[in-house]
């Protein structure tokens, strides 16, 4: 039960922060959801750091990892929103924006995880 509560709390905090960032940054570009993009990339970086530290040694307990990676990052990142926004761009006929947003999210997300793992090795 304690672990479920940790995931619940982390998820709530992550979702709330995602809401604030998306609400703040999404209005800046008509066909590129900057807030969602930032959240997904930052979430990839954070989970890369967390998982890097957890494999490095006993830096994080199992409960801390549940709170931060499963809970916070799970609530913070927005793959379902990401997919819905892709669908919206396709329905609007915005093939260039769809392609740019999809490819850049995936490529930069993978790079952010790599950077997060690298950062965890350096610290």
Cβ-Cβ contacts under 8 Å for 52 (sequence gap 6 or more): 116, 117, 118, 119, 120, 121
Does residue 109 have a known ligand-binding role? no
Distance separating alpha carbons of residues 69 and 27, to the nearest angstrom: 28
Question: Do the annotations mark residue 74 as ligand-binding?
Answer: yes
Rg (CA), the chain: 16
Residues at the annotated binding site for Na(+)? 74, 77
Binding residues: 74, 77
């Amino acid at each position: 039960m304690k672990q479920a509560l940790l995931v619940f709390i982390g998820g709530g905090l992550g979702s709330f922060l995602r809401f604030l960032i998306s609400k703040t940054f999404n209005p800046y570009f008509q066909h590129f959801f900057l807030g969602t993009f930032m959240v997904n990339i930052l979430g990839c970086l954070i989970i890369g750091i967390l998982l890097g530290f957890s494999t490095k040694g006993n830096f994080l307990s199992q409960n801390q990892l549940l709170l931060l990676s499963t809970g916070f990052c799970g609530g913070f990142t927005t793959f379902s929103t990401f997919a819905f926004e892709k669908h919206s761009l396709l329905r609007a006929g915005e093939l260039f924006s769809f392609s740019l947003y999809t490819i850049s999210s995936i490529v930069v997300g993978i790079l952010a995880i790599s950077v997060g793992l690298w950062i965890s090795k350096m610290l």
